[in-house]
Amino acid sequence: MKRLLLLLPANSYRGSAFISASNKLAADVIVGVDQSQASESFGDTGVVQFNFADPIVGAQEIRIFAKNKPIDAIVAAEEDAVLLAAYAAKESNLLHNSLESVQISRDKYLLRQALVEAGFPQPFFRLLVKRDDATDVRSMKFPCVVKPTNLSASCGVIKADTVSQFKTAYSRVFDILTSFKMDTSRILVEGYIPGEEMALDGILENGILHTLALFDKPDPLTGPFFPETVYLTPSGRPFSEQLRIETTIASAAKAIGLTRGPIHAEFRIYDGEIYILELAARSIGGRCGKTLRFTGGYTLEDLILNHALGVRGLSYQREPGAVGVMMIPVSEEGTLCAIDGLAPARDVRCIESVEITVPIGQKVMPLPEGRQYLGFIFAQAPEATTVESALRNAFDKLRILIAPS
């Protein structure tokens, strides 16, 4: 029987989805976690603790573990585990994306460099290594966006329209990284790209891209912060443009060296050009993957795990109809006291579920310092316009009470 190591950070939204998928496999699944107390969530599934904070050390721990229990495949469930998976795969000689390609996908500055070298349109960009770099604004173009090179979920991403706003944004991003005990020498400033933002999820198989979903993001993301809300698929873009998007993302993945496993790309279309903002070696974050179901009853997590184990004949065809998700944003800093209106929201036509993921009484923080959503609303209907309307109607019925800190 084959053995798969699933690297699952303790703060993952998708633990239950991946565990459910692993229980269907004809394989032994070991769950690697970064906190020992997380094992309480996984029942009888084998759980082993590894060092996620230092992927080099964690990879050595995995190699030692694999001496007694050989591993055939390794999967990172979330962004926080992709580097550990790549280091471990290299250390243990497992079939996986190269370490270099994953490092590029994980670092926004390295990604910008690689895409420019490969001829893809990109905004101007500059790495701010030290505080003094932020005082040199002679070559700066406005509006611009200041962001960490290696955070996700729009955390620390701030738009600046003026020199004064840029300096404030830089200081804020610096403080965010300091609060996370992360490297403050890798802050990126880049040109702001207007236009419509979209996302693509897919699976690479020997370098061939199988598109799982192309998402429209109907809400404008114009700053100064970038809270994502609604994702809809199938896209309303013309079919010819969808093909151009798929070709562009596949070429970009090849350019940075990604050849297998899930990818998640985010990009903007402006003045006829496709500007890739992110190209990650993982699937869509949060619980958004719950929207996707495939022929044969597969979930997104089913496809990811089976693909990693080399299962042939998987169906990458989505079930018919339109689906969507709305991420419930944190509007202010404080303590979550109540979320009323859940029953009316769940009763809205075409709503599949409304899931609250933050417990009452927990402190919450909005962007750009925060990294979490209050929950997720899911809808399904024959048409994307109906899905979008249902999501907004359900959200409007919620009454969220946050007590200021």
pLDDT for the residue numbered 35: 63
Given a cut of 60, is residue 44 above it in pLDDT? no
pLDDT for the residue numbered 41: 53
Name the pairing type of β-strands 261-270 and 196-205: antiparallel
**187 three-class SS:** strand
Sequence ranges of the chain with CATH classification 3.40.50.20: 2-104
pLDDT for the residue numbered 132: 79
DSSP state of 396: H
pLDDT for the residue numbered 375: 97
Residue reference for tokens 């999967």: 75
Sequence ranges of the chain with CATH classification 3.90.1170.30: 321-405
Given a cut of 80, is residue 39 above it in pLDDT? no
User: Of all helices (H) and strands (E), which one includes residue 204?
Assistant: strand 196-205
Taking only the tens place, the pLDDT of each residue in 71-83 is 999 999 999 999 9
> CATH for 124-191, among 3.30.1360.30, 1.20.810.10, 3.30.1490.20, 1.20.1740.10?
3.30.1490.20
Taking only the tens place, the pLDDT of each residue in 391-403 is 999 999 999 999 9
For residues 378 and 321, the answer to whether their CB atoms sit within 8 Å is no
pLDDT for the residue numbered 37: 47
Taking only the tens place, the pLDDT of each residue in 330-342 is 999 999 999 999 9
| Structure confidence at residue 133 as a pLDDT band (50, 70, 90) | confident
First to last CA, the chain: 53
Name the pairing type of β-strands 375-381 and 351-356: antiparallel
Taking only the tens place, the pLDDT of each residue in 183-224 is 999 999 999 999 999 999 999 999 999 999 999 999 999 999
pLDDT for the residue numbered 42: 53
For residues 84 and 52, the answer to whether their CB atoms sit within 8 Å is yes
| Structure confidence at residue 130 as a pLDDT band (50, 70, 90) | confident
| Contacts for 275 with CB less than 8 Å, ≥ 6 apart | 121, 122, 123, 193, 195, 267, 268, 269
* Nearest one of 253, 133, 258 to 186, comparing CA atoms: 133
Taking only the tens place, the pLDDT of each residue in 86-103 is 999 999 999 999 999 999
pLDDT for the residue numbered 321: 97
pLDDT for the residue numbered 11: 78
Residue reference for tokens 């404008």: 220
CA distance 346 to 120: 43
> CATH for 2-104, among 3.40.50.20, 3.40.50.1010, 3.40.50.1220, 3.50.50.60?
3.40.50.20
| Structure confidence at residue 360 as a pLDDT band (50, 70, 90) | very high
* Nearest one of 90, 112, 110, 91 to 99, comparing CA atoms: 90
* Nearest one of 331, 336, 326, 341 to 358, comparing CA atoms: 336
Average pLDDT in the chain: 94
Taking only the tens place, the pLDDT of each residue in 242-262 is 999 999 999 999 999 999 999
Q: What is the DSSP string of 140-158?
A: --SSEEEEESS--TTTT-E
pLDDT for the residue numbered 45: 56
Sequence ranges of the chain with CATH classification 3.30.1490.20: 124-191
Domain 321-405 has CATH 3.90.1170.30: yes
Taking only the tens place, the pLDDT of each residue in 113-128 is 999 999 999 999 999 9
Taking only the tens place, the pLDDT of each residue in 269-291 is 999 999 999 999 999 999 999 99
